[in-house]
């Protein structure tokens, strides 16, 4: 590889993780982004949840997520932010009978996928988290679903890339053919569709950040009369509550209704959080795809590689995305693990 071989469009967690990986492999990298960190990566809750994010019909994604979760401790250590990575587990609770039945269904799925998860009675769930309200009827413990402070990850990645000599250009790429590099990696999150001509759409998500004592001990996910909410406590006292999910184009305005729904469901299962300070409300755009799995690999344009469409799991999938895209670019061969995520799979079908 010669100088300026690789350009990357997008300085979210995916673009920066790839930039760092490629410079570590001796390549020279330029990252284009008018506003690094302005996308989903600094809004995200940071759950690293290969178990509780698993869904029916998404087994290849579940396998990729699990493999990436295993890379996270070393990834955080390499960035010098081991304290931003929290290996406390996740407890998933349900409120009414239908919520409890849904937890049973999820447990069966996790076991079918070979993922470790343990059922809890309501009393056992409350032993783990004394703040849980009596309305909780059942629980699941996913001890290997961890979390990371995404803003610290993004800041550390920027610093690592700068230290490694990555060149940053503060501009939006509008046409891949105008980028002066041997290869362009499109990692522009929800804004990737135009650059790739592939189906990536923005899926809006609103989160609320509280501040309070660090007393939960676990990430809490809840089904509250059919609705879902999660509560991610950081050691710093930040508590991220999320997240809504809807398609409203590129609209990132926060709404009172979404804040109300998130807080109402949270306070039903964790009433004492009503005393916490309301710190922030943010909206981010998840890069969604037709099958909820990312687009990773070569495109119809031989100069363009896609690394986008990570939807709900881009934080979790950053380390494995960087490693596999690194392998692809360094060797010219598509790694086996990338094959289910071929960006052209929708054309083929």
Ligand X SMILES: Cc1cc2nc3c(=O)[nH]c(=O)nc-3n(C[C@H](O)[C@H](O)[C@H](O)COP(=O)(O)OP(=O)(O)OC[C@H]3O[C@@H](n4cnc5c(N)ncnc54)[C@H](O)[C@@H]3O)c2cc1C
314 touching ligand X, by CB under 6 A: yes
**Site for ligand X, residues 230 to 259, rule: CB under 6 A:** 242-243
Fill in the per-residue mask, 267 to 296: x = in contact with ligand X (CB under 6 A), - = not in contact.
Answer: -----------------x-xx---------
Fill in the per-residue mask, 207 to 226: x = in contact with ligand X (CB under 6 A), - = not in contact.
Answer: x-------------------
Q: Do the strands 6-9 and 29-32 form a parallel or antiparallel pair, or are they unpaired? A: parallel
The residue among 275, 127, 132, 306 whose CA lies nearest residue 210 is 275
CB nearer to ligand X: pick between 106 and 190? 190
Fill in the per-residue mask, 121 to 160: x = in contact with ligand X (CB under 6 A), - = not in contact.
Answer: ----------------------------------------
Q: How many residues belong to the chain?
A: 349
- Residue tagged 């579940």 (tokens): 62
Helix intervals (H) in 149-232: 150-163, 193-196
187 touching ligand X, by CB under 6 A: yes
Identified binder of ligand X from the candidate list 6, 27, 29, 47, rule CB under 6 A: 47
Radius of gyration of the chain, Cα coordinates, nearest whole angstrom: 20
Q: What are phi and psi of 139, to 5 degrees?
A: -150, 170
Identified binder of ligand X from the candidate list 146, 313, 322, 329, rule CB under 6 A: 313
**Site for ligand X, residues 6 to 45, rule: CB under 6 A:** 9-15, 32-41, 43-45
DSSP letters, 178-200, are GS-SSEEEE--GGG-HHHHTS--
The strand order across the sheet containing 90-94 reads: 118-121, 138-142, 90-94, 219-224, 227-233, 238-242, 201-211, 277-288
205 touching ligand X, by CB under 6 A: yes
The residue among 180, 204, 182, 184 whose CA lies nearest residue 192 is 184
Report, in Å, the least distance between residue 134 CB and ligand X.
Answer: 28
CB nearer to ligand X: pick between 10 and 326? 10
176 touching ligand X, by CB under 6 A: no
CB nearer to ligand X: pick between 299 and 313? 313
DSSP letters, 263-293, are HHHHHHH-GGGGGSEEEEEEEEEEEE-TTSS
CB nearer to ligand X: pick between 44 and 270? 44
Q: For binding to ligand X (CB under 6 A), which residues are involved?
A: 9-15, 32-41, 43-47, 172-173, 187-191, 195, 205, 207, 242-243, 284, 286-287, 308, 310-316
């Amino acid at each position: 590889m010669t100088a300026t071989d690789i350009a990357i469009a997008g300085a979210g967690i995916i673009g920066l993780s790839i930039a760092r990986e490629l410079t570590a492999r001796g390549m020279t990298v330029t990252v284009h982004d008018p506003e690094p960190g302005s996308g989903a990566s600094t809004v995200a809750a940071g759950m690293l949840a290969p178990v509780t994010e698993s869904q029916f019909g998404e087994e290849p994604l579940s396998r990729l997520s699990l493999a990436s979760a295993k890379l996270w401790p070393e990834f955080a250590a390499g960035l010098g932010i081991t304290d931003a990575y929290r290996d406390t587990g996740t407890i998933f609770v349900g409120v009414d009978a239908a919520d409890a039945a849904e937890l049973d269904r999820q447990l069966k799925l996790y076991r079918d996928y070979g993922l470790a998860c343990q059922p809890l009675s309501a009393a056992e769930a409350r032993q783990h988290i004394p703040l849980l309200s009596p309305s909780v009827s059942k629980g699941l413990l996913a001890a290997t679903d961890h979390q990371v402070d995404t803003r610290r990850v993004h800041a550390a990645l920027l610093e690592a890339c700068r230290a490694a000599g990555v060149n940053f250009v503060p501009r939006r790429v509008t046409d891949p053919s105008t980028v002066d590099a041997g290869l362009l990696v499109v990692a522009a999150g929800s804004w990737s569709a135009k650059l790739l001509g592939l189906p990536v759409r923005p899926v809006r998500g609103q989160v609320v950040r509280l501040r309070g004592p660090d007393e939960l001990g676990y990430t809490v996910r809840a089904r509250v009369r059919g609705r879902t909410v999660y509560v991610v406590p950081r050691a710093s006292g930040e508590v991220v509550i999320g997240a809504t999910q809807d398609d409203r184009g590129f609209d990132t305005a926060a709404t009172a209704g979404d804040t109300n729904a998130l807080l109402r469901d949270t306070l039903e299962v964790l009433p004492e959080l009503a005393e916490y300070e309301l710190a922030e409300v943010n909206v981010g755009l998840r890069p969604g795809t037709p099958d909820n799995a990312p687009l990773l690999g070569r495109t119809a344009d031989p100069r363009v590689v896609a690394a986008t469409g990570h939807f709900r799991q881009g934080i979790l999938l950053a380390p494995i995305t960087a490693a596999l895209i690194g392998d692809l670019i360094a060797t010219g061969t598509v790694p086996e693990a990338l094959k289910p995520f071929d960006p052209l799979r929708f054309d083929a079908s």
